Amino acid sequence: MAHSQDLEELLSSLPACCRCRLNRRRCDTQLPSCQNCSKAGAECVFFDHVLQQNQPRAYVATLISRLKEKRGELAARTGRESSGGSLTCSPSSDSRRTSSRCGLQTSRYIGNRSCLSWPLSVVNDTAETTTLAPPPLEVEEKLNSDINQDVHWYLMMIYMDNIQPVYPVIEESLPFLSSNWLIDRDLDSLDARQLFTLDLVHSIASRDIIDNISTDQRQSYRVLADECHRRALVLFDKAATDISIPTLQAVILATLHSLFSPQQGNCEQLIGLAVRLAMELHASDKQARSDEGRIQQLYRVTYCIENQVATTLDRPALLPEPRREYRSDTSIQDTLCDLYRMQSRFRSNPDDEEAVASLSEELSSRIKYLEEITIDRNTNVLATAYETRLLLSPNDNEAAARLIEAYGQPHYIRTFLSPQWAYRAGVVISTAWKGSGPAVQAYGRCLVFLEQCSRTWPSASALKQSLESFASR
């Protein structure tokens, strides 16, 4: 009976299928197919985090059937052995569990005393922690063929799951986000702005997953990202033609792409353009009342991106902070906006001890709240909170260690700014905790993170070497 209950609990924790996630529908996770996929006559597929690939639910159903058969055979065999009066005794499960636990805690290689006591996903060099395994993609040196439906579907899911909650730029009513939209059939029906958005979304999503996929796929998706960006640049003049919400969306998308690939776009110029557009739209009285909410949201996104760059690179920020009071029950993007507002206020007056103390107290309350809740993509919010803590308290070794831990989590969005903060955290860790166990773990994770970042941004390699040189003094 206990085994059956355990099995039911495991089955109830199966992730939602890919199709339901894409369509943002509730998935009942039934076997061999969920109700939504059964109605549509589609294969019900989910992502297996162990195998790092998609698996059909029908396959799980066959495994369950096989497991039940084996249990029946085992039960029959056990009954025969019991009736035979077997005198063989086996150690109790409690004793095995106790000895195993003791072994883990005292081992040099596994447990609290080792460098691997943290989740292996943090220190794994391949970092294969993406939410979905990418479909095979074969491209030539220059991509000439169109993106197929599987690749399009996958990149849309990555963008909407990972990027959109943190940077809500695009509208979910866009035609290519519909489950009925086919890239081979409907691509020609898109206008210039929609094509520009589609190409940049493909490029941004490809760059977001590059560090989290296998080596043989990495180059293919990098080529795909470059080609999609080139196609988008051709359409930029048509996508940004006037002072309007669609133009601001196009500029913010281009700015967001520059955070992943700064060599392909002048990040600061794009930010300046987005800031001017946001200020014009915010001050304009020509916008329909129904657009006010959208303008405010894009204004906050622009504010976040500008201050994200300004704090890291020590640049001035021009966009006035949004009018909004601090609250705990906020969305991801609103919480980020609050954190960047704290950074901006600190940069404007870093010598005011009373103001800094007030910000620090407010930040502590915010971090405590964030660490206690579980929300999707909370990693990016936590990372920004720890960055803010390091800005206010440059020698906070605990914040530095937690920042590196957050950087290693699956859904963290890496940009070219991340290695800069990782280096700062690494310096704090190696200085404050020199030689201690936590320092060894955090410092090792920091080096691994910088090494991973160097695949995309070569400057991270120089930061890694500088950190190693600093730590060896």
Per-residue pLDDT reduced to its tens digit, 66-120: 777 777 777 776 665 545 544 344 434 444 333 333 333 333 333 444 444 444 3
CB 378 within 8 A of CB 413: no
Query: How would residue 216 be classed by pLDDT, with cut points 50, 70 and 90?
Result: confident
Q: Output the pLDDT for position 51.
A: 60
Q: Which amino acid is at 313?
A: L
Sign of the alpha-carbon torsion through 164, 375, 262, 158: negative
Q: Output the pLDDT for position 388.
A: 97
Is pLDDT of 461 > 70? yes
Q: How far is CA 261 from CA 204, 221, 227, 258, in A?
A: 9, 14, 13, 5
Q: Output the pLDDT for position 431.
A: 87
Angle at CA of residue 131, ends 138 and 406, nearest 5°: 120
Range of weakest confidence among 34-38, 121-125, 149-153, 225-229: 121-125
Q: Which residue would you say has higher pLDDT here, 365 or 323?
A: 365
Smallest CA-to-CA distance from 225 within 209, 206, 212 is with 206
The span from the CA of 18 to the CA of 102, in Å, is 40
Q: Which residue would you say has higher pLDDT here, 138 or 463?
A: 463
Sign of the alpha-carbon torsion through 132, 137, 142, 148: negative
Q: What pTM did the predictor assign?
A: 0.72
Query: How would residue 293 be classed by pLDDT, with cut points 50, 70 and 90?
Result: confident
Query: Of all residues in the chain, what percent carry a pLDDT higher than 90?
Result: 48
Q: Which residue would you say has higher pLDDT here, 464 or 88?
A: 464
81-93 CB burial, b ≥16 within 10 A, e <16: eeeeeeeeeeeee
Query: How would residue 402 be classed by pLDDT, with cut points 50, 70 and 90?
Result: very high
Tell me what the mean pLDDT of segment 425-448 comes to.
Answer: 84
Q: Which fold has domain 1-72?
A: CD2-Gal4 (4.10.240)
Tell me what the mean pLDDT of segment 273-284 comes to.
Answer: 92
Range of weakest confidence among 138-152, 214-228, 387-401, 455-469: 138-152
Query: Of all residues in the chain, what percent carry a pLDDT higher than 70?
Result: 77
Range of weakest confidence among 99-108, 189-198, 284-293: 99-108
Q: Output the pLDDT for position 77.
A: 66
DSSP state of 25: -
H helices of 210-291, in order, are 215-234, 236-239, 245-260, 267-283
Q: How far is CA 365 from CA 183, 290, 362, 406, in A?
A: 47, 35, 5, 18
Q: Is 404 helix (H, G, I), strand (E, B) or coil?
A: helix
Q: Which residue would you say has higher pLDDT here, 291 or 425?
A: 425
Smallest CA-to-CA distance from 421 within 439, 440, 402, 437 is with 402
H helices of 45-130, in order, are 57-83, 93-106, 120-123
Range of weakest confidence among 5-19, 369-383, 419-433: 5-19
Q: Output the pLDDT for position 17.
A: 86
CB 332 within 8 A of CB 381: yes
CB 450 within 8 A of CB 460: yes
Q: Which residue would you say has higher pLDDT here, 443 or 24?
A: 443
